[in-house]
Structure 1
Amino acid sequence: MKILMVAIPNHHFFQWVNQLKGAGFDVYWFDVTDGGPKSEKIEWVKQIKGWKLKCDFPLRHALKKHLPKMYRAIQKYNENSVEKAFKATYEAIEPDIVHCFEMQLSGLPILSIMEQNKTPFVYSSWGSDLFYFRELGLTNHKVQTFLKRIDYLITDCKRDHGIAVKNGFSNNYLGVFPGNGGLKLDIAQNEAAHKREIILIKGYDDGVGKASVVLNALGLLPKSVLENKQIVVYSADKTIEKQITDSKFLSDLNITVFSRYAFVENKKLLGMMGKAMVHIGNSLSDGMPNALLEAMGMGAFPIQSNPGHVTEEVIADGKNGLLIRDALNANEIAEHIKRAINNEELRKSTQSQNIDFIQKQYGRNHLKPKIVELYQNIKRTFH
């Protein structure tokens, strides 16, 4: 069976695809952005890259750097369209299944070609993909047209299936799967609750992510609450780095920042989660955050925003974590942080519960046969 994947180069996508390694499928990846070299993370996959440029002329990179306006003008005539490249790829491969990951970046660019055939079309929604589509610049009509062509839907939370149905989706729903195909966690790295001293904060502050409000919340806490604690902000936007530098209160804390633009190995991040007393993620929009699931699986007590009620699918407020009701309310977040830090018994009682839950629901080995069977069932249904 030939499966044609359509996606941007993305760590979660690579992890999903690797669940199919050794399953007997012929897997192809059409890099919808044609960005960078072939990926070593999925070296076994047939990768369709190098389709964008009609001519890679001499001194192209120098022209791009020093005369960007002229470069953009030339590239209007020197680049193949996604539609043209995908059509050629589709016709050459004649896939049994086409699977796109994310609507705006990967699904809509190939929709015109998929509307010309009846090949089973699978769509995995990611993050804010469906929940925030209007704010991302998509119209109801465009989304509804796209969903009308989709034969099979996969979401990373229950919420987004409901949104798809409200926008006309009436075909086959394959269920909830994490966008990366499951988590592989070394729970042997997990520290006992009483040994954990790290406050771990996801540092996205890009309009949707609101780590800045979390930092404001820290500023509302008595220093005594944060004493002897190590604060780690990872995937931090430049605005977050500046906010910390500009604040005497924050600068005086034991705080470490990992930039969003500097690679931090996932194994290292998981190690920090295994030593964190709390993990804080705050945003106006999201699907089921992979970072939240990883943190829970590594025993960190979760404090997480709840856009569209998605996070409450895994967190019972006050029992195995704390839900942020208003992502813009620093006072609320400050109260949550103080409550979690001061209540070691709550953190201790939920740690093993959360670890077991994540292993059973999101464990990579547990999900692999289900993902393989998913494609096999599609093939049987259509042929």
Structure 2
Amino acid sequence: MPSLHFFRWAEQLESSGHDVYWFDILDGEQTERLPWVNKINGWKLKYPNVKGRYFIKRRLPFLYKLLKPFLERHVEKEFEKVLLEINPDVVHSFVLYISCTPILPVMEKHKTIRWIYSSWGSDLYYFKNKAKYLIDIRKVLPRVDYLFTDCQRDVALAKKYGFKGILLGVFPGGGGFNYKQTNTFIKPVLERKTILVKGYQGRSGRAIEVLKALMKLESNLKPYKIIVFGADNEVESYIKTQNIHKQLHIESLSRRLFLPHNDILKLMGSALIYIGNSNSDGMPNTLLEAIAQGAFPIQSNPGGASAEVITHNKNGLLIENCKNIEHIQSCVQNALNNSELLENAFKINQEKVKPKFEESVIKKQVLKAYNNIL
């Protein structure tokens, strides 16, 4: 699907000697990214110029569902046409329920074609608890030949639910990180006076619980500015209705307004503490970026994924219960009261953790994994 993770991952293959074809499973709009990739778009709509289609889809979804067979081509048939035409060495699908389940009948039919599956974020950890999705997980994984994940936790989950193939590696979902430019954004620990909070709520984010914890620390936070980035509507509404501005020096950066990635990295480079809290995730890219930019990480630990990069009370702090306000409050207070912990964590993360996720390091391992298949 056309996502930032996919684009960054695919960019690792440029000039690698491989012919890369992208079947856009969502048939989204054309993009200028990946100009060297053979893009397969425009496969879905039978009559792309039909007027009123978007209106019906948006306003009358029940009617569109009835009309769908007459307006849209079936993904199985269209993907199989492309598969037979290209005859690839391997098919690589990103995210199970979006990119694996729709083409499973085709891959079952062509069992000699090898299949890679990349698990990201909540792909297995969250959806294994949903009966409908678990059925798909149990169907897809036995057919998959190779696996990439973004955390070790999901390797165990994949095996539990039927994967019997070869693990190609555990890497960030979008590949490694280029530190050349972003290193210039990093400030010394003692110059930092910002606490940065990831502002997601919704299905899995738990930013409001973080805000509740921070409000309990009002007297401790007077020297600091709180910045909530990527704040969704629910979080913005909470900040406003609770008059948090009266208690804390807080700024909310809306998720609806596009904040350039470099601007986020600049915020991380000047943040004393970064807090990410959710009930489900894999290895969060924002956590790895915050670590790389020198912010002290306080991060939720669903299924033990975050503990793969954070040793509690050494190079960060782990939130073991994302709903426990007192626990989150204790973590933040611990960090604020322990300058030695903050400075030691900065050193560990810069010297030992950060280099593991450098772009060239990850790319070399990923290309080796692909070549091992061939």
Q: Same fold (TM over 0.5)?
A: yes
Runs of 4+ in 1 over 6 A off after TM superposition: none
Work out which of the residue numbers 320, 329, 344 in structure 1 matches 2:339: 344
> How far off is 1:254 after superposition?
2.4
Q: State how 1:189-204 maps to structure 2 within 5 Å.
A: 189-204=185-200
For structure 2, list consecutive stretches of 5 or more residues without a partner in the other structure: none
Q: State how 1:211-230 maps to structure 2 within 5 Å.
A: 211-221=207-217, 223-230=218-225
| Counterpart AA for 1:80 | R
RMSD: 1.7
Q: State how 1:87-98 maps to structure 2 within 5 Å.
A: 87-98=80-91
Give the 3-state SS of the residue equivalent to 2:138 in structure 1. Answer: helix
> How far off is 1:165 after superposition?
1.3
Deviation readout 1:66-122 (Å, 9 max, x if unpaired): 853554543342011221221122112111110001101111111110111111100
Distance 2:57 2:9 in 1: 35
Alignment match, 1:126: 120
| Counterpart AA for 2:22 | W
Alignment match, 1:111: 104
Tell me the TM-score normalized by structure 2: 0.94
Does 2:357 correspond to 1:365?
no
Deviation readout 1:316-356 (Å, 9 max, x if unpaired): 11111001011000111011112212322211111121022
Contact 1:277-1:341 within 8 A present in 2 as well: no
Deviation readout 1:111-166 (Å, 9 max, x if unpaired): 11011111110011001111122334445443222111111011111111111111
Work out which of the residue numbers 22, 27, 32 in structure 2 matches 1:34: 27
Q: How many residues align?
A: 370
Contact 2:244-2:250 within 8 A present in 1 as well: no
Distance 1:332 1:280 in 2: 13
Alignment match, 2:94: 101
Alignment match, 1:149: 143
Does 2:37 correspond to 1:45?
yes
Distance 1:68 1:31 in 2: 26
Q: State how 1:179-328 maps to structure 2 within 5 Å.
A: 179-185=173-179, 186-221=182-217, 223-250=218-245, 252-328=247-323
Deviation readout 1:242-270 (Å, 9 max, x if unpaired): 00011123455322222223221111111
Distance 2:5 2:121 in 1: 11
For structure 1, list consecutive stretches of 5 or more residues without a partner in the other structure: 1-7
Give the 3-state SS of the residue equivalent to 1:9 in structure 2. Answer: coil
Contact 2:272-2:296 within 8 A present in 1 as well: yes
Structure 1 251/106 Cα, relative in aligned 2: closer, same or farther at 3 Å?
farther
Distance 2:52 2:36 in 1: 31
Structure 1 218/51 Cα, relative in aligned 2: closer, same or farther at 3 Å?
same
Structure 1 354/249 Cα, relative in aligned 2: closer, same or farther at 3 Å?
same
> How far off is 1:47 after superposition?
1.2
Does 2:349 correspond to 1:354?
yes
Which 10-residue stretch deviates more, 273-282 or 339-348?
Answer: 339-348
| Counterpart AA for 1:169 | F
Give the 3-state SS of the residue equivalent to 1:23 in structure 2. Answer: coil
| Counterpart AA for 2:167 | Y
Structure 1 308/63 Cα, relative in aligned 2: closer, same or farther at 3 Å?
closer
Q: Percent identity?
A: 41
Give the 3-state SS of the residue equivalent to 2:129 in structure 1. Answer: coil
Distance 1:134 1:51 in 2: 31
| Counterpart AA for 1:17 | A
